[in-house]
Each structure stands twice: as structure tokens, then as C-alpha cells.
């Protein structure tokens, strides 16, 4: 006789899972570019953990701050005062001065314009005022007496502000024209001519926001088809006294910008990632202190001095990876510092390919581990991989300023772990239909061999059914029949689970239970005997209620021990688990011979349980399917534990 039941095929489930995993890895690899919106936030996280540490102080910011406005009045100031500010700074011998203030219109506080602004001025006074130099002239004279770089702002459309010719820039393209690759503006907003002509250099002060955050600055941009340097880069050129900037251009875009002995690698569009330090008040000095002659000696000597507005409500305070509010002039200062200190951050051109390779490698490695590893091993592997995928890029950023994105690989780990966990949960739910929860979990966790692999093992088989159930079912209301069957199967099922037996599907009132398979048990025989006795006692209790409802059902059990061949049989889409051998046939025949409340066991089993149970020899019985009579024993009761 052969007893079989359906069981989820491990090979089948993992085959499907493996295909799903491969498709998942491929999908993540192909769609890695969809993670680009998340990538900048990952890089922000790196900078928030390890911001740049200021080792030197090459830049000083002269800030037109709240204190300056309190002492010298509201903004904008007369440009004569800016001229005085430039004189005071220039007298201290800075390497260069950069004015991050745009002045596209004439100063309405120039002497010649005062009669328009202030009524009641007589003609003679007006004539004498008009003979005085304008504030633009005064500022221009101050600028000519110093090395000053002026700013310009890029415009997306033509027609904003007066039409102007771009001031001369100092670029030497190397190998190719950078214009097709760099950030492009249609036009620019300049200072008035008289001021612009007094500067020794001009740089772009515009910054681009990525999700509301300033992460990169364009070292090279194009305005109306002409190459323009970044404001900070032009300040470096003037400070170093080099005649021109070299732009290295390759087939895929801008590779680097060279300023004297400094070579700054760039993104293909000519931008760089700004390596920010935290806001440092020592980087600033109030313009009020400079105008009031309260600066210490040597404060500006040899430094790159930036002049800009920082007062709240007037300055452009922007979010950066390290702080939520940073003035534009400080952002330019951060760029200059990071270049001079050689503390740049860079995303290598090969980074996307490297990240894709890591994603595929991690995916394949996890596929190999998850294929047969227990869940705890998979979880440990996944946690280790995630820690490594976070730790290694963070370490590379900290040590070398390299930007790598681990998010696609981390998502691969989590997705594959989730997929494996879901598969194992589904498989566990199916296995629990046939095995005890403990055994099912052990199989899923890999704590035992694949139960579907063909194998031969000694098992103890218990077969049981009700006596008179067929006649009862033919003469009783179907609802009552199913109610009795449910009560019986529920109680028997609880005992199977309690003794960790392997249960086949219910066949009407019949049940067959294995012990010692799929997980070997040193006490398989004892478990089978104790479960059978517990079942007999439980059915006696059930029978009390059945008799009160007007019917009585008997109960018999047969138990045999021997070797059986076990494994999967069936076809694609329908796999069953089969126990093939004499032992299953013998247990069924013994059950068939058992009278109500009898537990019949085979001779070999009787010899093994003499110390456990009291037995009654029934002699040799002729059983269907067996060529000779076999000794049979009746289990009377369990012996008390000594």
C-alpha cells in the first residue's frame, strides 16, 4: 500500500523564486537611473556625517550684515561707501577682492541725481552737484586701484536688463569646445558699464538648486555661446596671477579645469560638488568693523576677500547639505576653500558602472546564499551586506571624497530578502498542512534535508479511523456528519501537532501519521505510542458527547515500524509526497483488524516498547497482502514512569 499527500515542492518553489530573483535583479540593474532623485540626498547624508574640516583660512568674507545696516543705514548704500570699503580692504594687501553684489543700475544717490530725489534745491546748488563725480566713478576709481573680480548673473531669457557685450574672459579650451557640454544661459545681468570696466575679472555668481539644495557649482558655463568662469574660480585665477584658465574637454564632456598649478576634476557639464564645512563665524567680519577701522593687522593680507550682503531679508540664503540656510557669498567662499585645500569631492565617471556591477554581484551572491540557507543565515547575510554597502561608501567619502551610491544595491538586498521571506512564509503555510509547525519551520529553515528528495528511512507509521462511520454517514444528516468529523479531526490534529508527527491529508475518518521523517527523531517510537494512547483517551471523551446525541462510534489504531521509501511523486503542477513500503501497508491492515478502542502493533514494535507499555499477545493473524500470518500485540496501557 502507498499513502501520498500533496506538499509544496522545494525544487519547484525555488526554481520559480530563482527566476523571479533574476528578473528582479535585472530590472533593478536596468532601472538604476530611476534612483537618481534619491542619490543627491545620499550624498547629502555623507556630508552631514563628515563635513569638510577647515585646515586653513584662505578666504575672508566682509559681510554687510545687520550690524552694518544698523550703523550705516538701510541697503542699498551709496556706492561711495562701497568705494571706501574697497579702499580699506585694498590697503591691507589682499590677494584678490571679489564683490558678490550686482549693481545693474546707476546709483540714485549720486550727487547729480540728488535734485531729483530731494526737492527745493536751487539751480546753483544743482549745477555744483552735477559737476561732482558720480558714485559709480568713485567706486570705479577704487576698483582700479585694487585687484577686484566682479560678478554677473546668468539669465534664462534674453531681454532682461540692458543689452550688453560680455566682458572679456580668460579661457583656453584644450582639445575641444566646452560650450556644448556646460550649463548655458541665454544672457547675463551685469553691473553698469563704468563699474564693470574697472574690474580685472568677471565671474558667474548664479547657482542652481537641485531639489531646493545647492550641491554643485558650475566652474564653467556659457552665456550666449561664450564661456564664462565661476565667480570663485575667477578669483583664484586673479589671485594666482595666471593669464588664463585651461578647460580640459574630452569626448564625453569637460574633464577638468586648470588654474595655474591647480587641476580641478569636474563633472561632464563642468560642475563640481561643493565639499562644505559647517558654518563658521570666524570666516566673517562685519563691514561696519572695516569701515570703522576696527580690524586687526594682517586680517586681509594675502587672503581672498569676498564682499557680500548677509543681512536677513536682503541676502539669498540657500539650503546646503550641511545647513538649511547659507548665504550665497559663503557658498562661493566654500568652493574656493575646498579647491585651495585640495579637499574636493568627486563622483567618478565610472561610478554608475561600478554601482551596477556591485548590484549584480550582490544580487548573484544573495541568490546563491538564499537558495538553500536558513532564514537566519539569509537575514545575517542581508544585514552584513547592508552594513557593508553603507559603510564602504561612507568610508570612501570620508577618506578620499569619492561619491558612490549604494541605494540600488541596498534595495536589491532588501527586495531579494523580502521575496525569499515571502516565499518561505507561503511554503511554511503549505507545509503546516502536513507537518507540525516545528517540523515545517525546520524544513523551511534548512534544518533537515529536502523531504522531496528520494530517500529510505525507518519510520513508525500510525493509522487510525472510526468504527461504523460509513454507516453513520449514510443514515445521518450531512451537517451532523460533518460536525462530528470536524470535532474528531480537530482533537486528533492537536495531538499530532503536540507529538510533532508528520500528518497526511485527512481521508474521511482515516488518518496516517509518520514519525522519524522528514526530521529524524531519536524517540520516534515512544512518540507514536504515547500519541496513540492519548488519542484513545480523547476519543473516549468525545464518545460521551456522541452517545448523548444518539449515536456511538468505535475507534481503532494500527502501528507498525519499518523501513519505507519516501519522496516526491507526481507531475508538473501536482506533486505528492509518498511513503512506499510494507510498513505502511502493515499499519493500515492492523488498523483494519483492530476492534473498538484497540491499538494493535507489530511484533518488531512490540519488542521495542516492552518497557513503555503493557501489551497483550493476540497470536498470529492473517492480514491481507501478507503471505504468512504475523504476530500481533494489543497495547493495553502505558506503564507508569518510575
* pLDDT given at position 68: 92
Instruction: For the chain, give every domain's residue range.
Output: 12-44+348-406, 53-340, 437-638
Which pLDDT score is estimated for 403? 93
How many other C-beta atoms lie within 10 A of the C-beta of residue 386?
17
**Predicted local confidence at residue 481, as pLDDT:** 92
- Helix ranges, 255-297 (H): 287-291
At residue 122, the pLDDT reads: 75
pLDDT of residue 24: 53
Phi (first) and psi of residue 527, to 5 degrees: -60, -45
Query: What whole-number distance in Å separates Cα of residue 469 and Cα of residue 506?
Result: 14
Residue 613: predicted pLDDT: 93
- 437-638 to CATH, choices 3.30.9.10, 3.40.50.1360, 3.40.50.300, 3.30.70.1230: 3.30.70.1230
Alpha-carbon distance 338 to 230, whole Å? Answer: 14
Residues 6 or more apart whose CB falls under 8 angstroms from that of 96 comprise: 147, 148, 149, 235, 238, 239, 304, 305
Cα–chain center distance at 548: 64
Q: What is the CA radius of gyration of the chain?
A: 44
pLDDT for position 437:
66
Element (H, E) at 639: none
Q: Which residues contact 625 (CB under 8 A, 6 or more apart)?
A: 1, 585, 589
Question: How many whole angstroms from its chain centre is CA 33?
Answer: 14
Euclidean distance between the first and final Cα of the chain, in Å?
A: 39
The C-alpha atoms of residue 536 and residue 613 are separated, in whole angstroms, by 14
> Which grid cell is 174?
584644450
- What burial class does residue 23 get, using C-beta atoms within 10 Å of its C-beta: 0-12 exposed, 13-18 middle, 19+ buried? exposed
Residues of the chain with pLDDT under 70: 1-35, 159-168, 370-375, 430-452, 505, 572-577, 642
Q: Each residue of 275-330: pLDDT tens digit? A: 999 999 999 999 999 998 777 778 899 999 999 999 988 877 899 999 999 999 99
Amino acid at each position: 500500500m502507498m499513502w501520498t499527500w500533496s506538499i509544496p515542492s522545494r525544487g519547484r518553489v525555488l526554481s520559480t523564486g530563482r527566476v523571479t530573483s533574476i528578473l528582479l535583479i535585472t530590472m533593478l540593474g536596468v532601472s538604476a537611473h530611476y534612483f537618481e532623485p534619491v542619490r543627491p540626498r545620499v550624498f547629502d547624508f555623507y556630508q552631514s556625517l563628515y563635513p569638510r574640516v577647515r585646515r586653513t583660512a584662505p578666504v575672508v568674507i566682509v559681510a554687510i550684515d545687520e550690524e552694518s545696516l544698523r550703523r550705516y543705514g538701510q541697503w542699498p548704500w551709496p556706492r561711495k561707501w562701497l568705494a571706501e570699503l574697497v579702499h580699506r580692504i585694498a590697503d591691507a594687501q589682499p590677494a584678490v577682492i571679489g564683490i558678490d553684489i550686482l549693481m545693474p543700475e546707476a546709483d540714485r544717490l549720486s550727487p547729480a541725481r540728488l535734485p531729483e530725489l530731494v526737492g527745493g534745491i536751487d539751480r546753483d546748488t544743482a549745477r555744483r552737484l552735477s559737476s561732482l563725480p558720480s558714485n559709480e566713478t568713485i567706486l570705479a576709481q577704487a576698483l582700479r586701484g585694487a585687484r577686484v573680480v566682479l560678478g554677473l548673473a546668468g539669465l534664462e531669457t534674453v531681454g532682461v536688463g540692458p543689452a550688453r557685450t560680455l566682458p572679456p574672459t580668460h579661457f583656453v579650451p584644450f582639445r575641444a569646445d566646452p560650450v556644448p557640454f556646460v550649463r548655458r544661459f541665454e544672457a547675463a545681468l551685469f553691473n553698469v558699464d563704468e563699474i564693470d570696466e574697472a574690474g580685472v575679472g568677471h565671474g558667474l555668481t548664479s547657482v542652481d538648486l537641485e531639489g531646493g539644495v545647492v550641491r554643485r557649482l558650475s566652474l564653467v558655463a556659457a552665456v550666449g555661446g561664450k564661456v564664462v568662469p565661476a565667480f570663485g574660480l575667477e578669483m583664484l585665477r586673479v589671485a594666482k596671477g595666471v593669464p588664463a584658465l585651461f578647460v580640459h574637454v574630452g569626448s564625453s564632456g569637460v574633464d577638468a579645469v586648470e588654474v595655474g598649478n591647480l587641476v580641478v576634476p569636474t563633472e561632464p557639464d563642468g560642475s563640481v560638488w561643493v565639499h562644505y564645512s559647517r558654518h563658521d563665524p570666524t570666516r566673517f567680519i562685519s563691514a561696519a568693523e572695516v569701515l570703522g577701522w576696527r580690524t586687526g593687522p594682517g586680517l586681509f593680507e594675502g587672503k581672498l576677500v569676498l564682499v557680500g550682503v548677509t543681512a536677513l531679508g536682503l541676502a539669498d540664503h540657500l539650503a546646503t547639505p550641511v545647513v538649511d540656510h547659507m548665504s550665497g557669498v559663503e557658498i562661493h567662499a566654500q568652493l574656493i576653500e575646498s579647491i585651495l585645500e585640495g579637499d574636493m569631492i568627486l563622483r567618478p565617471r565610472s561610478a554608475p558602472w561600478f554601482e551596477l556591477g556591485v548590484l549584480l554581484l550582490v544580487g548573484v551572491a544573495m541568490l546563491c546564499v538564499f537558495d538553500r540557507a536558513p532564514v537566519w543565515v539569509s537575514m545575517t547575510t542581508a544585514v552584513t551586506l547592508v552594513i557593508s554597502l553603507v559603510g564602504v561608501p561612507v568610508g570612501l567619502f570620508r577618506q578620499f571624497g569619492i561619491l558612490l551610491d549604494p541605494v540600488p544595491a541596498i534595495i536589491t538586498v532588501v527586495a531579494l530578502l523580502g521575496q525569499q521571506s515571502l516565499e518561505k512564509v507561503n511554503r511554511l503555510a503549505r507545509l503546516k498542512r502536513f507537518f507540525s509547525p516545528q517540523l515545517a519551520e525546520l524544513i523551511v529553515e534548512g534544518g533537515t534535508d529536502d523531504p522531496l528528495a528520494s530517500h529510505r528511512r525507518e519510520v513508525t507509521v500510525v493509522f487510525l479511523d472510526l468504527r461504523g462511520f460509513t454507516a453513520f454517514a449514510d443514515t445521518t444528516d450531512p451537517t451532523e456528519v460533518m460536525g462530528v468529523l470536524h470535532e474528531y479531526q480537530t482533537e486528533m490534529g492537536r495531538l499530532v501537532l503536540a507529538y510533532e508527527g508528520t500528518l497526511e491529508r485527512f481521508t474521511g475518518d482515516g488518518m496516517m501519521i509518520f514519525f522519524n521523517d522528514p526530521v529524524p527523531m531519536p524517540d520516534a517510537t515512544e512518540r507514536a505510542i504515547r500519541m496513540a494512547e492519548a488519542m484513545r483517551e480523547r476519543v473516549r471523551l468525545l464518545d460521551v458527547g456522541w452517545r448523548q446525541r444518539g449515536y456511538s462510534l468505535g475507534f481503532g489504531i494500527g502501528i507498525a515500524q519499518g523501513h519505507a521509501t519516501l519522496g516526491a511523486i507526481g507531475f508538473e503542477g501536482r506533486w505528492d509526497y509518498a511513503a512506499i513500503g510494507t510498513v505502511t501497508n502493515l499499519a493500515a491492515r492492523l488498523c483494519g483488524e483492530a476492534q473498538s478502542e484497540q491499538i494493535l502493533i507489530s511484533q518488531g514494535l512490540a519488542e521495542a516498547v516492552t518497557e513503555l507499555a503493557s501489551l497483550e499477545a493476540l497470536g498470529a493473524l492473517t492480514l491481507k497482502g501478507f503471505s504468512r500470518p504475523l504476530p500481533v500485540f494489543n497495547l493495553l496501557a502505558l506503564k507508569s514512569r518510575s
